[in-house]
């Protein structure tokens, strides 16, 4: 088993942090996304959508999509639970993780992808949309600050995959000058706490 990884990209970091929280070690093989190796025929056989990370099992099965990879390891090793503990809790964690993907990671990623040279020739770009998504991301940070006034973690009382997604989204925002605002004390408190976990270095 191995994971196709990129040390600089946010989605592979989601999986690395998740595995670090679980105390699991899986071999990584770095893919040079700077040279677009992930968009060459050999890699497209593993993931036709080209993105990293990809988990390759010993039988050759390739699993892309960060959350799908995390789900695989959550099933193999349920402790500590990062995706919920019962039907109600799993649904709540999923809701928050989806929100962190759709309302935070996606606009932050678009702020970069829609204007940066890195993605020229890889995707259709619209720099105006990058600006719109930057504003959307800033709105989401303000909303998250209000949410975190009432609970320690994104999905409730426990650290979950939703915190991992949000941490990595916010850290990736730096490249597009999207950050926690000085008045967002609850968000800053949460970020300092999750960024201090040993897993955050993964």
Ligand X SMILES: N[C@@H](CCC(=O)N[C@@H](CS)C(=O)NCC(=O)O)C(=O)O
In this chain, which residue has its C-beta nearest to ligand X? 51
Residues contacting 27, CB < 8 A, separation 6+ = 1, 2, 3
Give the whole-angstrom CA distance, residue 172 versus residue 188.
15
38 makes contact with ligand X (CB under 6 A): yes
For the residues of 102-163, what is the DSSP string, one character each? IIIIHHHHHHHHTT-GGGBTTB---HHHHHHHHHHHHHHHHHHHHHTTS-SBTTBSS--HHH
Whose Cβ is closer to ligand X: residue 66's or residue 136's? 66
For residue 38, the minimal CB distance to ligand X (Å) is: 5
Give the whole-angstrom CA distance, residue 62 versus residue 46.
6
33 makes contact with ligand X (CB under 6 A): yes
| Binding segment toward ligand X, per CB under 6 A, in 6-14, 70-78, 152-160, 180-188 | 6-14
| Binding segment toward ligand X, per CB under 6 A, in 33-41, 156-164, 176-184, 191-199 | 33-41
| Binding segment toward ligand X, per CB under 6 A, in 9-17, 78-86, 139-147, 152-160 | 9-17
For residue 77, the minimal CB distance to ligand X (Å) is: 20
DSSP-derived 3-state class of residue 166: helix
Binding to ligand X (CB under 6 A): which residues in 165-184? none
116 makes contact with ligand X (CB under 6 A): no
Q: What is the DSSP-derived secondary structure letter of residue 63?
A: E
9 makes contact with ligand X (CB under 6 A): yes
For residue 118, the minimal CB distance to ligand X (Å) is: 8
Whose Cβ is closer to ligand X: residue 11's or residue 160's? 11
For residue 194, the minimal CB distance to ligand X (Å) is: 19
133 makes contact with ligand X (CB under 6 A): no
How would you classify residue 60: left for phi > 0, otherwise alpha for psi between -120 and 50, otherwise beta? left
Give the whole-angstrom CA distance, residue 197 versus residue 18.
12
Pick the closest to residue 97 from 190, 152, 22, 161 (CA basis): 161
Q: How many CA atoms lie within 13 A of 129 on its CB side?
A: 12
Binding region for ligand X (CB under 6 A): 6, 9-11, 33, 38-39, 50-53, 65-66, 122
């Amino acid at each position: 088993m191995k994971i196709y990884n990129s040390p600089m990209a946010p989605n592979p970091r989601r999986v690395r942090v998740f595995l670090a929280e679980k105390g699991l070690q899986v071999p990584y093989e770095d893919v040079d996304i700077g040279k677009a190796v992930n968009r060459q025929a050999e890699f497209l056989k593993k993931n036709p959508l080209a993105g990293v990370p990809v988990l390759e099992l010993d039988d050759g099965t390739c699993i892309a999509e960060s959350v799908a990879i995390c789900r695989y390891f959550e099933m193999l090793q349920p402790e500590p639970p990062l995706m919920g503990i019962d039907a109600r809790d799993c649904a709540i964690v999923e809701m928050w993780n989806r929100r962190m993907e759709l309302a935070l990671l996606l606009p932050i990623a678009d702020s970069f992808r829609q204007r940066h040279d890195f993605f020229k020739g890889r995707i259709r770009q619209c720099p105006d949309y990058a600006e719109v998504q930057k504003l959307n991301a800033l709105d989401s940070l303000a909303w998250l600050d209000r949410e975190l006034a009432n609970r320690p973690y994104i999905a409730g009382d426990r650290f979950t995959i939703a915190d991992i997604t949000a941490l990595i989204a916010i850290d990736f925002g730096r490249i597009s000058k999207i950050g926690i605002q000085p008045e967002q004390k609850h968000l800053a408190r949460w970020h300092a706490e999750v960024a201090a976990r040993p897993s955050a270095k993964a």
